Amino acid sequence: MQDTLEKVKDTIVDETTSILDHKFVLSDDISITVKGLIFVVVALIITSFILKLVRRFTTRKMSLNDKQKFVTVFGYIRWFVFLIIFLVAMNASGVNVTAVFAASAALLIGVGLALQTLFQDILSGIFILVDQSVHAGDIIELEGKIGRVLDIRLRTTRAVTIDNRVLVIPNHLYLTNILFNWTENGTETREYVDVGVAYGSDVELVRELLIDIAQKNDKILKIPEPGVLFTDFADSSLNFRLAFSLNDSFEARFVKSDLRFAIDKAFRENNVTIPFPQRDVHVFTNAKPGIQFEKIENTTKE
């Protein structure tokens, strides 16, 4: 009975060893055993577990904002560590890593060219986090598009527009375009509404009306106070600019619309005219029969 058990045990050990030593031959220079594959998988699992412990230990006392930044940067580092561990484990398993690179050199070049933009996005994402030029919650303008940043990811930055649409921005655009950060100096922004009045209008009355309208709007900050600039003597109007401050620039277009409604109403009630250009066409007929000339003279009426 004891001899039978020993034979069964030896048979199981031999079969297990045979399975573990079975080789997968990919080419003349590249092969790997089942035991090597298991070693590589175990090494990656252990690496993943250690990296999670490192992340938790490092971020346990960080603020929420700093924690989000660290987790994003750590995500880039994690993939680099996995690549190094994978190559080391493959080499320790008896795989000729040099032969692997040599065999896949052309493929790697093609993939590298195809993924060039992807690498640019990833590097740009790292630069954004290190430089801290953009943070979650900032309102940015890029290529004429305006949005509030939701988060900065590995390849892209997600932002929500004024129309509540999600804007996905490839990170490499930050390096190739001029970026306007509306809230770099805080959430307060300075906004303007321009209006023209007819020549001969009471400019002091115009200033008083504009200031009063701005002060009555609940969304406009009281400090700094709204101001009025007399900007130009234009061809057909006296131009003014109403300047005011907001805490949320996403509301700017709605506030400006409310102001324009109020300005039009106040000007009508106080007989202040908003002019528009008019053209007079004078036609002159030449004295010679059969020949006529037309002359156009531009004048402006208020």
Q: Which CATH number characterizes residue 168's domain?
A: 2.30.30.60
Q: Is residue 126 part of a domain?
A: no
Q: 224 is in which domain, residue-wise?
A: 187-302
Residues 177 and 194 in one domain: no
Measured between alpha carbons, how far is 247 from 217 in angstroms, rounded to an integer? 13
Both ends of the chain: CA-CA distance in Å?
A: 120
Q: What is the pLDDT of residues 214-245, one digit of tens each?
A: 999 999 998 889 999 999 998 889 999 999 99
Q: What is the pLDDT of residues 143-165, one digit of tens each?
A: 888 888 888 877 788 898 888 88
More confident residue, 207 or 249: 207
Q: Is residue 111 part of a domain?
A: no
Residue 79 confidence (pLDDT) above 90: no
Q: What is the CATH number of the domain that holds 216?
A: 3.30.70.100
> Residue 142 has what pLDDT?
85
Residue 91 confidence (pLDDT) above 60: yes
pLDDT band, residue 7 (cuts 50/70/90): low
Q: What is the pLDDT of residues 120-132, one digit of tens each?
A: 777 777 777 777 7
Listed residues 158, 181, 204: the one ending a domain: 181
Residues 167 and 151 in one domain: yes
| Mean pLDDT calculated for residue range 165-192 | 83
Listed residues 119, 150, 181: the one ending a domain: 181
pLDDT-above-90 percentage for the chain: 21
Residues 150 and 230 in one domain: no
Please report how the helices 34-59 and 64-92 are oriented relative to each other, as an axis angle in degrees rounded to 10. 160
pTM of whole model > 0.75? Answer: no
Q: What is the pLDDT of residues 15-54, one digit of tens each?
A: 566 665 656 555 555 566 777 778 788 888 898 899 888 8
